[in-house]
Amino acid sequence: MSTTFWIILAGAVATYLTRVGGHLVISRFDTIHPRVEAGLNAVPAAVLTTLVAPELLHAGPAEWAALIVTVLVSLRGGLMAMFLAGAAVLILARQFIG
């Protein structure tokens, strides 16, 4: 087996551990404290935000336009509409602004 294969295998095991680890820890407790539950309810917004926020540091006009349109569309539309509108604005703006 090549080194590459072992890197992939070890990476896969490490990744699976992260995907099951939080559950294994939480499931050891019989009851979940309300504060822990509040923390778990905050997970989607807390984690997903960190995948967007640092991108703002090097966002130019095209990127900002796309994000603003995404927010506007989110007030009425679903995820697909949001994404397609944001992507369309981004690609269009980049043709002109670069």
Q: Residue 62 in contact with residue 93, Cβ under 8 Å?
A: yes
- Classify residue 57 by its DSSP letter: G
Q: Is 83 in the site for another protein (CB under 8 A)?
A: yes
Nearest in space to 67 (alpha carbons), one of 85, 50, 81: 85
For the CB of residue 64, give the shortest distance to another protein in the complex, in Å: 11
Q: 């509040």: which residue's tokens?
A: 38
User: Least distance (Å) from another protein to the CB of residue 68?
Assistant: 10
Task: Indicate which single residue of 1, 53, 76, 97 sits in contact with another protein (rule: CB under 8 A).
Answer: 53
Query: 73 near 82, Cβ under 8 Å?
Result: yes
DSSP 8-state class, residue 9 = H
Q: In the stretch 3-42, what mask flags binding to another protein with x, by CB under 8 A?
A: xxxxxxxxxx-xxxxxxxxxxxxxx----x-xxxxxxxxx
- List contacts with another protein (CB under 8 A): 2-12, 14-27, 32, 34-57, 59, 62-63, 66-67, 70-71, 74, 78-80, 82-84, 86-87, 90-91, 94-95
